Structures are given as C-alpha cells and as structure tokens.
Amino acid sequence: MYEKLTPPTTGDRVTFKNGEPIVPDNPIIPFIRGDGTGVDIWPASQKAIDAAVEAAYGGKRKISWFKIYAGDEACEEYGTYQYLPEDTNKAIAEYGIAIKGPLTTPIGGGIRSLNVALRQIHDLYACVRPCKYYPGTPSPHKHPEQLDVIVYRENTEDIYLGIEWRAGTEICEKLIDILNTQLIPQTPEHGKKQIRMDSGIGIKPISKTNSQRLVRRAIKHALRLPKAKQMVTLVHKGNIMKYTEGAFRDWGYELATTEFRNECVTERESWILSNKEKNPDLSIEENARQIDPGYDALTEEKRAVVCAEVQQVLDTIWETHGDRKWKEKIMVNDRIADSIFQQIQTRPDEYSILATMNLNGDYLSDAAAAIVGGLGMGPGANIGDQCAIFEATHGTAPKHAGLDRINPGSVILSGVMMLEYMGWQEAADLIKKGIGGAISNREVTYDLARLMEPPVEKPLKCSEFADAIIKHFDD
Ligand SMILES: NC(=O)C1=CN([C@@H]2O[C@H](COP(=O)(O)OP(=O)(O)OC[C@H]3O[C@@H](n4cnc5c(N)ncnc54)[C@H](OP(=O)(O)O)[C@@H]3O)[C@@H](O)[C@H]2O)C=CC1
Ligand SMILES: O=C(O)CCC(=O)C(=O)O
Ligand SMILES: [Mg+2]
C-alpha cells in the first residue's frame, strides 16, 4: 500500500466523529522530522512527549511513532524533487493526527511551501497558535504575563493559495493587458488606474465559506474559555482591501450574529445596549451619537444609517441581550491589522482569540510569540475536521541547524497541544510543569539564556533542555 513506508506493527488508528478525534490508548502517530534544526528538535521533542506519557499513564497509554518523510529527508529517501511523497499524505490522511518539524521554503522561486501544501491538501483550515507566558521566561516586554492570546489563522487561502505570475512572463503580461484594457475600465470605482507592465501579479482570494468556518471554530473555542477570555477579535485590513479583508470582517460578524446569535454580542451592540441600560429614556438619535463620536459631522444620510442600526439592535436583541445579559455572551469585535500589532503590546490583556486571514495571522503569530519569550516558545496546530498536524510557529532556523543548541520548546509545546487534542491532559500537564520548572530554575537554551537577568552563562543544549523538562515533572 505504501511505496516505502512501513507503519508500526503495534498501535491503532485515530478516527474522527463530528470533527473530533477518537483516540485509542496506543495511537499510531506519523511524524516528520523536518529540515534544518528539525534534526536537533525532533529527537528532543519525542523524548519529552514519550516520557510524559509514560509518567502519566505507566504504560497504559503509549504513542506508536510512525516516521514519514517531507523536505530534504524525503528527497534522500524517495529521490530528487520528491519533497512531499504520496506516501506521506496517505499516512497523514489514514492516521489522522501527525506532528512535524519545520520545512524549508526557497525565496523567489523553486518549490512552493511544503508546510502550506500540507495544510491545503488535508484541508487543515484553522491554524491555532496560542501565545501564553510561562512564569520566569525572559521577555523584551515589561508585562509579558498580560498577554494570553490565541491566533486563529485561516490556513488554506489568501495569497497563500499561491496563484501568482512572475513579472515579464507571457501569461503575466496577458493578464495585465486584460485587466488594464477590459476589466479595470469596466469598474468605475477604479477610474483610470493601470497596472505597470513590469509587475508580478498575485491573487488574493478570500471566500465566505473559508472565512466563516474559521470564525465558527474560533467562536466554539471561545465558548470553552473562562468567562473573562470569551472574546473573538476579527483582524483585517478592510479599510484598504475592502472586498477581501473587509469581507472577512463582515462575514465574521454575520456568522456571529446568526449562527451564534444567542451566544454572541458585537462590540457595537454592547455599546448600544449599555447606553440604554444607563438611560432607559435615551432617544435613538442620542444613542447613535454616543456610539459614533463623529456623528454630528456625518451627512444626513449616514446619520440615518447609524440611527437605523441602533433601532435594529434594540428591536431585535434587547429582550435576549439587554439588561446586562450581553455581559454573559462572547464579545465579538474587530481591529484593523496594523493597530492590533500595537494593541497586543500596549493593551495585551484586552484580547483573547484573534481570528485572522492567512498572511495577517502569519505575521501576528511571530510578533505575539516574541512578547512571551520568542520563537522558541511558540507552538501551533493545524486543525481540520478529519485531520490535524501539529507544528511550531518557527521555521528551520538554518544557522543553528545540527548544533544541538536550538530551543525545542515550541515543538514540545506543540506536542502538548497534540496531547490535549487527544484528551491526554495528564501527560500535557506534566510537560507544562516540566517546562515551567526548567525555566524558573534558569535551565534554558541559548535564546532564553541571553535574555535572562543576569544572563545564564552556560545555556543548556537542545537535548539537555528536554532532559531538564523531564526532570522537573516531579517538582
Ligand atoms: N512551518 C514551517 O515549517 C515554517 C518554515 N519556515 C521556513 O524556515 C526557513 C527559515 O526561515 P526564517 O525566516 O529564518 O525563520 P525561522 O523561524 O526559521 O528563524 C528565524 C530566527 O528565529 C529564531 N528561532 C527560530 N526557531 C527558534 C527556536 N526553536 N528556538 C529559538 N529561536 C528560534 C532564531 O533567532 P536567533 O538566531 O536570533 O536566535 C532564528 O534565527 C525558511 O525556509 C522558511 O520558509 C518558516 C516558518 C515556518
Ligand atoms: O511555509 C513556510 O516556509 C513559511 C510558513 C510560515 O511562516 C508559517 O506558516 O508561519
Ligand atoms: Mg510564519
């Protein structure tokens, strides 16, 4: 059935029901070692995960690891340019849960990202990246403990669909010509705009289906969080990219206020309801003035729109959400992408789940990870309805490859996410305890060592960090 793979002889398959995994006590879990620092990180990660499972379940539960190939290692095994063999995708589809190290993507040409390809092939539409502070972790931020967000990034479309054409190619010039001579002139709002002939062209598709399934998952996640963290922020650059990023925001709100009407309140709705709660006799117009500070400068037509919004909110949800009932609901708001980058630094505790499109989420997850200790502390998961692949936020960090010095924390924490997804919470908790213990005892790799006050003079190796985590299971 496989060309070159041999699955473990012991262990059972994970299956899925209604989008959730059903995990046997001895699941077969495929893993991809990864390129670059993957050679250092994977053995350390596997050791920490296995030790936690053994310590938590004393042999009753055990992972049967199944080595599969992607990236440079796949080319060695399967031949030149076989970066993502059919075997690998078959194994992931068959066994349902996999974990991987980072894979290299060349810049400006060459193969397209294998990481992105895996997400698209297996329809892993939600990239989930928690950014949470471990006490004692050094950070460039004054109050890293105030940040506790989860980036929920759409994982299958946006410019990551990879439909683009190189400048100067025949098809690119043909496309520009059609746009300049036929399509742009037919769209009055584009006026006399023209695209330069020496441009490269990329396509940015943002669909209602994919936007809403991402936001749906984000809201369902928010429902499982403690009350104070039940908030979903739609991140977008919809002021500039109105029909892609702006549409993402609108589709997000539409979903929240239809499918989750009883569970959600939007930020603007909460202002309207709260204004009326403070003053039950408030007129519609005065309420509109209070939610839109620039109200009096608006045209009559725009003022009518705001008044209609106020009226509509009071007519439709006052009964269900008014009288402070909205305070028990999930707050759904939106922020423009550039502003959220400063907001997570200046007002970190005001955010919880950040629902984003693909590119914004890619940028934002690195930035948020930096606040809580850097890319060595940034785990992630790519989740679909039939499959999930766990991987760190960082890449292959090539300058550190093979030196046994890189921080394996992000892949180990991705393993924690995997264990939690499997329902193996006791093992996940042991690793979290071990990481906390190692960090607070200043037993850390170079990246955290250099930031600590005073700096740690002899940082641990990558492999030693795994041992330190295991040692602190018993703290
Ligand atoms: N999902 C994936 O597999 C991803 C793959 N990539 C790919 O990885 C390659 C390299 O990308 P690059 O832009 O250099 O980004 P990387 O994330 O690989 O590394 C950038 C820098 O981040 C720090 N860093 C990364 N990982 C760790 C870690 N585990 N512990 C501590 N610090 C870490 C290092 O900083 P310092 O040297 O200052 O300590 C490193 O030099 C590219 O081909 C890219 O496409 C990128 C992102 C995700
Ligand atoms: O696939 C890659 O090479 C980079 C992807 C990336 O940066 C990410 O998913 O965070
Ligand atoms: Mg990235």
pLDDT tens per residue across span 180-204: 999 999 999 999 999 999 999 999 9
pLDDT of res. 202: 98
The tally of CA atoms less than 13 A away on the side-chain side of residue 49 is 28
Tell me the pLDDT tens digit for each residue of 266-288: 999 999 999 999 999 999 999 99
Average pLDDT, the chain: 97
Rounded to the nearest angstrom, the distance between the alpha carbon of 42 and the centre of ligand 1 is 15
For residue 23, what pLDDT band results from cuts at 50, 70 and 90?
Answer: very high
Prediction pTM value: 0.97
The protein residue whose alpha carbon is closest to atom 3 in ligand 2 is: 105
Beta-bridge partner residues of 113? none
pLDDT of res. 470: 98
Q: Which residues are catalytic?
A: 160, 237, 338, 362
Q: What are phi and psi of 381, to 5 degrees?
A: -145, 145
Which of the listed residues 83, 375, 463 should we mutate to test ligand 1's pocket, taking the one with most ligand atoms within 8 A of CB?
375
Mean pLDDT on 348-363:
98
The protein residue whose alpha carbon is closest to atom 40 in ligand 1 is: 397
For residue 112, what pLDDT band results from cuts at 50, 70 and 90?
Answer: very high
Q: Report the amino acid identity of residue 64.
A: S
The helix/strand/coil state of 71 is: coil
pLDDT of res. 307: 98
Mean pLDDT on 429-450:
97
- For 4, 83, 389, 418, 419, the CA distances from 61, given in Å and listed in that order, are 28, 33, 20, 14, 12
Provide ipTM, 2 decimals.
0.99
For residue 291, what pLDDT band results from cuts at 50, 70 and 90?
Answer: very high
Rounded to the nearest angstrom, the distance between the alpha carbon of 116 and the centre of ligand 2 is 7
Positive or negative: CA dihedral 203, 208, 213, 215:
positive
pLDDT of res. 155: 98
Mean pLDDT on 89-107:
97
For residue 10, what pLDDT band results from cuts at 50, 70 and 90?
Answer: very high
126/122 Cα distance (integer angstroms): 11
Contacts of 242 (CB under 8 A, 6+ apart): none
For residue 317, what pLDDT band results from cuts at 50, 70 and 90?
Answer: very high
For residue 367, what pLDDT band results from cuts at 50, 70 and 90?
Answer: very high
Tell me the pLDDT tens digit for each residue of 136-191: 999 989 999 999 999 999 999 999 999 999 999 999 999 999 999 999 999 999 99
Tell me the pLDDT tens digit for each residue of 373-428: 999 999 999 999 999 999 999 999 999 999 999 999 999 999 999 999 999 999 99
Tell me the pLDDT tens digit for each residue of 329-347: 999 999 999 999 999 999 9
Q: Pocket residues for ligand 2 (CB within 6 Å)?
A: 105, 113, 115-116, 362, 393, 395
Rounded to the nearest angstrom, the distance between the alpha carbon of 104 and the centre of ligand 3 is 12
253/230 Cα distance (integer angstroms): 15
Residues within 5 Å of ion ligand 3, judged at the Cβ atom: 362
